Amino acid sequence: MPVKFRIFINIIILIFLLDLFCSCSKNKVEKSDEDWSFVVFGDHRQGYGVYGKLVKYISNYEPAPKFAVSLGDIMLRPGNEAEWLNFWRYSKPLTDKMPLFIVRGNHEGNDPVSEQILHEQANIPGENFYYSYCCEDAYFIILDTEIRGQERSIVNEQLFWLTDNLDSIAQESNIKNICIFMHHPLFTQGKYQDVPLINNEELHELFLGNNKVKAVFAGHEHIFNRYVRDGLTYIISGGGGAILHHGYGGDYYHFVKVSFYQEEERINIKTIGIFNEVVEEFDL
């Protein structure tokens, strides 16, 4: 066999083995040592290639996270059923393992037709797009920053509902932690840093009034950012697939894994990047 041909065959074999190794690595089971966890991501839009990879990494965790939360902007055009079909198709490895809760983003729209489609597709309980639920010793509140005529704020009935929820949970001894999710951040840090939530200071004081509130998650800005104010952690996670916002730091594709260690009374946060690597890690 000619030397050049042997070299060519060896290169082909090497490429095949490398591809096989990479495929196995991407599909390996990720062992977790926490008591339980959930994952958060946001702003996928039409970045299905990125989103699909992140979903596969999430679906490989063992034990599986209890649930996942999308912080909104699932699509580019509101009410587009074709985009919904694509979203659920790419989400299937995840939804086969855990529930997926959806926060309404501005790209989901707030006209009557878009709202009807969002209710049907996301199976959101009740007529509103804000709701709450319990898991283990934690309480989770999903807010809606996109109500028609109340965009970029939490006011009126929703604010009354939120205040009542926080007051009630403050009295529940079996609930140790509260996490809050919304699309538009209270305190924007990147491209939209000049357009924060309108009543952010009012909400910040409300959250500070309940020491069980551990973190507030939002999307909208296509970056990762952690901002601590008066001891309360605000996290922006908008690296789920949409075009990133560069020049503000944290401009990488990712999802966030939130892990609970009950004996240590510790909550750990990791951002997991496009190559399944831990990019940032900290405790609340």
CATH code for the domain of 118: 3.60.21.10
Q: Please, which pLDDT band fits residue 18 given cuts at 50, 70 and 90?
A: very low
pLDDT of residue 7 exceeding 80, the answer is no
Angstrom distance (rounded) from CA 97 to CA 265: 26
Residues 63 and 143 in one domain: yes
Q: Which amino acid is at 276?
A: N
pLDDT band at 1 (very low <50, low <70, confident <90, very high): low
Is there a single domain that holds both residue 20 and residue 99?
A: no
Question: What are 101-157's pLDDT values in tens digits?
Answer: 999 998 888 888 888 889 888 888 788 999 999 999 999 999 999 999 999 999 999
Residues 146 and 216 both lie in one domain: yes
Residues 65 and 26 in one domain: no
Alpha-carbon gap, residue 60 to 281, rounded angstroms: 20
- The verdict on 127 and 1 lying in the same domain is no
User: Do 174 and 266 sit in the same domain of this protein?
Assistant: yes
The pTM is what? 0.87
Distance CA 56, CA 42 (A): 16
Give the pLDDT score at 262: 86
Q: Is the dihedral of CA 105, 108, 110, 112 positive or negative?
A: negative
Same domain flag for 144 and 19: no
Fill in the amino acid letter for 283. D
Same domain for 93 and 175, yes or no, is: yes
When divided into structural domains, the chain yields a total of 2
Q: Can you tell me whether residue 195 is helix, strand or coil?
A: coil
Question: Do both 174 and 86 map to the same domain?
Answer: yes
Asked whether residue 25 falls in the same domain as residue 37, the answer is no
Q: Are residues 174 and 241 in the same domain?
A: yes
Place of tokens 């990133």: 244
Residue 10 domain boundaries: 1-30
pLDDT tens for residues 187-239?
999 999 899 999 999 999 999 999 999 999 999 999 999 999 999 999 999 99
